Structure 1
Amino acid sequence: MMPFPIHIDILSLIIKGIIIGIAASAPMGPVGILCVQRTQKKGRWYGFATGIGASASDLIYALISGAGMSFVVDFINNPVYKFYLQLAGGLMLLAFGLISFFSNPLKNAHSSGQREKGTLIHNMVTAFFITLSNPLIILLFIALFAQFNFIIPNQPILMGVGYASMIGGALLWWYGLTWLVDKIRAKFDQTGVIIINRVIGSCVIFFSLVSLIGTLFNIYLFPKLPLQQ
C-alpha cells in the first residue's frame, strides 16, 4: 500500500515546485526586462539563455532558503509557529504582489544596447550575475516555501525532485515569455511589459489573499505531505 501514496506525494511535490518556479521568475525585474530586450534585438534563444542564467541563480538562493528552513524544522512543524510563519509568508507575498503591480519595471532597467550579440553562454552568465546581485529573492522563496509547505526535512531525494521541478517551472516561464515576445515582437513595446507586470502582480495579490484567508481559518490549499509527519 505504501508505493501509491508516495507516488501521489511526489506528484504533489512536482506540481508545487513548478508553481514556485514560475512564481519566482514571473515578476518583471531587471532580468525580465533584459530577457525581453534580448529576445527583441538578438533573437528568441538569446532571451531564453538569459532566463536560464536567471534560473541558475534563483536555484542557489532557493537552496539557501530551503537549507535555512530545514535547520528550524521543529519550529516549522510546531502548529503555533507554523501558523505565524504562513501568516508572515502570506503578508510577504502580498507585499511582493503590490510592489509588482504598482512598480514600473522599466524605470531602473538598462537597455541592452550591445552592438554584438555575444554568445549564448555570455548572455547566460551576465543574467546569472545580475540575478545573483539581488539576495532579497531569498525572502520571496521563504514566503513561497512557507505557503506551499515545500520543505521536507531529512528527505534529500524528494527535495531534489522538488528543486528540479522548480527549475522546470522557471524554464517553462522563460520559454513561454520568449515565445510570446518573439511572436508579437513588432507589437510588444514598453506598455506590454507593464501590462504583464500588472497581470502578474494581480495574480500574486489574489493568491496571497486566498492564502491569508486560508491560514486564518486553518484551511490549507496545499497541505503538508504525509512523508513529513
Structure 2
Amino acid sequence: MSLFLEAAAIGLAIAAPVGPIGLLCIERTLRRGPATGFVTGLGAASADGLYASAGAAGMGTLLYTLSTIATPLALAGSALLLYMGVGTLRRAAANHAARASEGGGLLAAYLSALGLTLSNPMTILSFIAVFASLAGGQHATPADAALMVAGVFTGSALWWLLLAYGGGRLLARLGPAGQRRINQLCGVLLIGFAVLMAWRTLAG
C-alpha cells in the first residue's frame, strides 16, 4: 500500500503542472462538458501508465528505440499542438452554439491526448529514474512493478478528475464572455507550447 501511495503521489505530481494537456482539458470541459475533459485527461494518464510500465520493466531496448525517433515524435506532437491551438482560437471566435456542437466524441478526445502525451518519449527517462528510486536501487518484482504502474495511473487520473469536474464548475460560472476569453488564452498558450517544443527539438 505504501508503494502504491508513493507512486500515486508521483503520478499526481507529474500530471498537475499546467501544460498542453491541462489546457486541452480546460478548453474541452468548457466547450463540451466535464466528461470530455476527464476523458482527455485519461488519455494522458494512459500514456503515463504505458511509459511507467516500460520504466518499471527497465526496457532498455524500448528506451533506445524511442530515443532514435524522439525528434520526429516531438515534431509530430508540436504539429498536433499547433493544430489544436489554432482550432481553439477559431472556436473561441465562433458563436457559442457552434463551439458546443463542434468536435468528435469521447474516443477522439481520448486518442488525441494519448497521442500528444506519447509524442514526448523523453518522459520515459523520468519514470525510469523515479521507479529506480522507489525500488531502492533494486530490480522491482512483477508485483511491485504492477503496484507502481497502477499508482502512477491512479494519481494522474485523480488529477484530471478534479480538474474536469471541480475546476470545470468554477470556470462555468464565468459566463459566455469569460469562457470565450479563457478559450482564447488556452489557444494562444497551446500555440506557444507548440512553438517552444519545436524550437527545443530542432535546437537540441
Is the TM value for this pair above 0.5? yes
Q: Counterparts of 1:69 and 1:126 in 2: how far apart (Å)?
A: 25
Change (3 A) 1:152 1:119: farther
CA–CA distance in structure 2, aligned partners of residues 168 and 67 of structure 1: 19
**Does the Cα contact within 8 Å between 1:46 and 1:123 map onto a contact in 2?**
yes
Unaligned runs of 5+ in 2: 62-80, 92-98, 187-204
Tell whether 2:105 aligns with 1:119. Answer: yes
Given that residues 49 and 150 in structure 2 are in contact (C-alpha distance below 8 angstroms), is that contact kept between their aligned partners in structure 1?
no
The structure that is helix-richer by fraction is 2
Match of 1:38 among 10, 24, 28: 28
- Determine helix, strand or coil for the equivalent of 2:48: helix
Secondary structure of the equivalent of 2:58? helix
Aligned length: 148
In 2, Cα distance between the equivalents of 1:30 and 1:147?
Answer: 27
How many Å apart are 1:18 and its aligned residue? 0.7
- The residue type paired with residue 168 of structure 1 is T
Please say if residues 61 and 138 of structure 1, whose CA atoms lie closer than 8 Å, have aligned partners that are also in contact.
yes
The structure, 1 or 2, with the larger RCO (C-alpha pairs under 8 Å, 6+ apart) is 2
What corresponds to 1:166 in structure 2? Answer: 152
Report how far residue 146 of structure 1 moved. Answer: 4.2
**What percent identity do the matched residue pairs reach?**
34
Separation in 1, partners of 2:60, 2:142: 11
CA gap of 1:179–1:51, structure 2 versus 1, over 3 A, is same
Deviation at 1:147, TM superposition (A): 4.3
With structure 1 as the length reference, what TM-score do the two structures score? 0.55
Moved over 6 A (4+): none
Match of 1:157 among 140, 143, 158: 143
Matched, 1:50 2:40: yes
CA contact (8 A) 2:25 2:40 kept: yes
Q: Secondary structure at the match of 1:184?
A: helix
- Unmatched tracts of structure 1, length 5 or more: 1-10, 72-106, 194-229
Amino acid at match of 2:151: S
C-alpha spacing 1:120/1:152, structure 2 compared with 1 (3 Å): farther
Taking a change above 3 Å as real, the CA distance of residues 65 and 40 of structure 1, as seen in their structure-2 partners, is same
Matched with 1:177 is 163
Instruction: Deviation per CA, 1:47-78: give whole Å up to 9, x if none.
Output: 0000111111111111222222799xxxxxxx
CA distance in 2, matches of 1:165, 1:64: 14
Q: Aligned pair in 2 of structure 1 residues 59, 164: CA closer, same or farther (>3 Å)?
A: same
RMSD over aligned CA atoms reads: 3.1
Q: CA deviation at 1:168?
A: 0.9
The equivalent residue for 2:121 is 135
Query: Residue 152 and residue 15 in structure 1: after superposition, are their counterparts in 2 closer, same or farther (change >3 A)?
Result: farther
Q: What is the TM-score with the length of structure 2 in the denominator?
A: 0.62
2:71 match: none
Contact persistence 1:24–1:140 (CA under 8 A) = no
Q: What per-residue deviation string (whole Å, max 9, x for no partner) do you get for residues 87-132 of structure 1?
A: xxxxxxxxxxxxxxxxxxxx97715446523211111011111111
C-alpha contact (below 8 Å) 2:58/2:128 kept by paired residues: no
* Distance (Å, rounded) in 2 between the aligned partners of 1:174 and 1:150: 29
Q: Is the 8 A contact 2:21 2:113 kept in 1?
A: yes
